[in-house]
Amino acid sequence: MRVGITAVRRLRFDDGTPVTAASGIAPLGDGWLVAQDDATHAAWQRPDGVARLRLLPPVEGLDRFSEAAGTKHLKPDLEVACPVEADGLPGVLLLGSGSAARRTRGVLVTLDGDRPDVRAADLAPLYGAVAERLGVPVAQLNLEGASRAGDVLRWYQRGNLAAGVANAGVEVPLEALVAVLLGRAGAGTVPLGAAHVLELGEVAGVGLAVTDAIALPDGRELLAAAAEDTPNPVDDGPVVATALVLADGGRVLDVTPLPEVDGQVVKVEGLALRGTDGAAVHLVAVVDADDPELPSPQVDLTVTPG
């Protein structure tokens, strides 16, 4: 598999403040919706600028959270952004990591013309069921990536070699999940489909772990992975390597290092499909710099899966 970078941008809102901790990206209207895992609002990137879009109400009066400020435990930790439809309207589904009780919420953004509509719901019963299906202790749950394959969401647990937790995925019917966000069903009614484990290997003794995924037109998937040296799903640690993984269900077909940006290893936490051109796949990715003062890089990637 060949992976190349064709462009790098630093994301900032129209007022010049940085888009930080970018953790997911999905198409919305004429642009992209970028989730921030340290904030209650997303960045709606459009041809004429980047605007804030509120997803959740403030938490204890705050809209941004950080370890330095002692507020990291309050953040909603939205890690997944996936394109969906709801009542015939295009939209984006955003999901928390589930790594703490505050992080089990989902958000649905739909677009009627040029007007976004935002709905949120507590999905704690669903997160509990996913942990049980994957055999992951609730304290180690960390659902950081997902891809859409037709009417199914493939939702991924970010593994942790140090804690003995595997990378694993479970299939969730999108229609049933969207119905919960629309207020038409309870979170405990969403059925779960097949589950599988992914063996991604390690770098310098640190296991590669899934940070996001994107389905390809042929049914295979590309997954972003990072080898981050941390003992648990909450604390950040040094990222010793990152990779792009080609997979087919539970089978890993190829693992290729992601190119560095400005001489640095970058932790890609969001992937979206721009399109395909013959054998080449064009992706847009967002990077979490794990620094509340730095704007998140947005990277255009061209991948030839082979």
pLDDT of residue 268: 95
pLDDT of residue 236: 76
Q: What is the pLDDT of residue 86?
A: 96
Which pLDDT does position 293 carry in this prediction?
86
Determine contact, residues 172/190, Cβ cutoff 8 Å: yes
Note the pLDDT of residue 213: 97
* This prediction's pTM: 0.95
105: tokens are 């919420």
Q: How high is the pLDDT of residue 16?
A: 96
Which of 225, 86, 213 shows the shortest CA–CA distance to 151? 86
The reported pLDDT for the residue numbered 262 is 86
Rounded Cα gap, residues 180 and 200, in angstroms: 33
**CA 50 vs CA 60, 153, 253, 272, 300: distances in Å:** 26, 27, 37, 17, 17
Q: Determine the pLDDT at residue 303.
A: 97
pLDDT on residue 135: 94
pLDDT of residue 233: 67
Q: What is the pLDDT along the chain (306 residues), one digit of tens a residue?
A: 999 999 999 999 999 999 999 999 999 999 999 999 999 999 999 999 999 999 999 999 999 999 889 999 999 999 999 999 999 999 999 999 999 999 999 999 999 888 999 999 999 999 999 999 999 999 999 999 999 999 999 999 999 988 899 999 999 999 999 999 999 999 999 999 999 999 999 998 899 999 999 999 999 999 999 998 877 766 778 888 999 999 998 899 999 999 999 888 989 999 999 999 989 999 999 999 878 889 999 999 999 997
Give 123-127 contacts, CB < 8 A, sequence gap 24+: 123/95, 123/96, 123/180, 123/187, 124/187, 125/186, 125/187, 125/188, 126/172, 126/177, 126/180, 126/187, 126/188, 126/190, 127/98
